[in-house]
A and B are shown apart, each in its own frame.
Chain A
C-alpha cells in the first residue's frame, strides 16, 4: 500500500496535498453476462476521449453467464498500461463476490456499492458511497428486462461525477458504443445521467483522484491485440485462413472475417480470400499447409491445446518446407488449464514443436502495433523461409484493450520469397527443389499449376535428396537436415531484432518479451526513481536469437529474465544457446494466470539489486 493512500484515508483534506491527477485504477465487479461490458467500455472511452491514456484488463471466467468477472480500468497520464495490484475505486455490483471484493481493498479506497450490499461493508477505513441502483433504475424505465440491461450504466454516471469526467464525454461514448441503435443509446444515456444526477445531489465530493482533460492520449488508438493481429493479416495479403474456435484466439478469426468481408471483395462481389472453420486443429493446420503448398498466403489461429494437436504438421511444414503461419494466443495450461487466464507457457513447445530435430521461428509482439506489424511479418517470413512461423501473443495482449500509437500503412511491398515461375524456369534451365543455391539454406520452390515441364516436384515428409527424390541414404539425410539448420541460422538476423536500452554503469540487465513489456517499462521507472536502481533492458521480439542478445548478456553482470511461465522457458533456450553466459542468468517468474504488475516485479527485482 502506498503511504499516500493510507494518510489520505486518515484525514480527507479539502485542498488535498496527495491529490492524484490522471492516475486512478477502477475495478468493477459484476456477474458474467450481466451486460456490464457496454457500461465498462463507455466509462473507459469517456476517459480516453478526454485525452487521458487508458487501458483495461478483463478478468473473466470460462463461463457464459453467472460467474464473477472483474473489469479493471487504469487511467494514467504517463501511459503506464500494465496491471496494478491496487485499486483506487471499487464498484461492487456482484453479491457473489462483494464480501471478498471489499475485504481485499486497501485502506482509503473508494467503494461504490449497491444498497443491498451495504451490510457487507464491515470496515471503516474505506470511503464508501452507497448507491440505490434499483431505485434509480426504476426512474429510468419501467420494463424489467430493460432495467437489467441498463442498471450498470448508472455507475458510469456516478463515477463520472466522483472523478470529474465530463458528462458530455460519457454521452458521446455511449452513442459511439451503441452506434446505430439510437433507442438503446438514449436509454443508456438516461441511466448514466440518472446516476450522475444522483451523485451530484447525494454523494460527498472527494478530491483524492481527479481526471482532467489531457493531451497525453491525443492521436492514439485503443484496441485489442486480436484485432491488431487480424488487421495485420488483412494488410499482409492473406488469402486463406482456417481455424477452430478456442479462447482466447477465436476473436482473431472473427475480427478477420469482419474485415475481409468488407475490404477483400472484388468489384463484382466475389471474394479474394477464403476463411474456413475446420473440424479441429489438425484440419486447420492441414488446410493451411495445403493452401500454402498450392501457393496461397495462409494462416491459422489457436491456443495451447490447438498447438499440441498441430505438432505433427509443424514437423511436416519444417521438413517439407511448406510455409505456414500459426498465431498462438497463449492461455494458461497444461491441459484445459485456465482457459481465460494469461501466460507465456507455450514458448518452448512452439519453438521445438514436432518430433525429431525441429526448431521454429517465433515472433513475440509486445504491444498492439507489433501485433499488427508482426502478423504481416509472419506471413512474409513464412514464405521467405518456407517454413512454419509462430506468432506468439497471449490472452492479455489479445483480449484486453490497450492504448497504442497509430498504425502505419505497410510501406514494404509483399515479397513471396524464392518462388520460380514458368518464365524463371525457362531462363534458369534446371531446378533442384532442395538445393542451397544461395548459401543461406533457403532453396527455391515452385507451385502447382506452373506451366513448365521442369516445374513439378514431389513434396514429402520422408527423407529426400536435393532434387526431392525419396532417399534413405545417410549422407543425403544429414546434408538436408544440416541445410535446414543453416536456414534457421539465416533467420537469426532476419527476424524482428530485440529492442535494447543499454544503461552504462548498471549491473542488472533485464530480458523480457511479449505482454510483460508494459510492466517492465514501469518497473524500470520505479526502480530508478524510487529506489535509485538503474537497469538495462533488452526486449526480445523473436526467436531464434542473434548477436544482439549475446552481446547484451555479455554486458551486464546479472541478467534477469522475466517470463510468465513456471519453467523459465526462454531462459532455457538462452542457456542452451549461450552456456558460457548461463551463470549470469536469474529467472523472474510469474505464473498465477494474472498479468504481471510493476509492484510485484519491483519486489522481485530489488533483492537482486541488493536492496
Chain B
C-alpha cells in the first residue's frame, strides 16, 4: 500500500500558536488511526504565517512565488488535508482565506479536508459551520462531519456531556478523516496542472459547437 500524504495547513499567527497545536494534535491522532489500519502516512505542515508575503504577492501578480508554489503543490498532491484557522472577527482569518483564494479552485476536488479552528471565545465555534464548511463545499472537498473548535478555555477543560472534551472531539474527527483516507486510492496522479496535459482534442471541441447540439 502506498504511503498516504497528509498536509496540515495552519494559519495561526502567534508563536507558539494554539492553532498549530490543535493542527498537530489532529495530525498525530489521524496518523495513529491510520497506523492502526496498517497505513503509513507522511505529514507535511504548511505554516501560512511564513507565506504571508508570498500570498499577498500572489494576489497582486496572479502567480505564486517559488515557496508558495511548493506549498500549493503539496496541498494539491495530498491525499488529505487538515485545515486549521484562528477565528478572527467571527470568521476564518484573512490569511487562511487568501491561501485558499490563490489555490487553484480544482485543487481540493474529492479530497478529504478536516476543518478546525481556535478562538478566544467558544461563542464563535459555529464559524466552522457557517464559514469554513461552505467554503470547502464550494471547492468540492469532502469535509468530515466533525469539525473541531478549540476556544481558550477548552485547553484546560474536560468538556460537556453532549460534545465531549477537546480530546474526544479530536479523536472523533481524526477517526472520520482516517476512515475517508483508507477508503480512498492514493492521489499519485493528481499533481498540480495535470490538466494541461489532458487537453480535449480540437475536433471534439469544434463538434460540441455544431448547430443542433444542446447548448
Are the chains A and B members of one assembly?
no
A residues adjacent to B (C-beta < 8 A): none
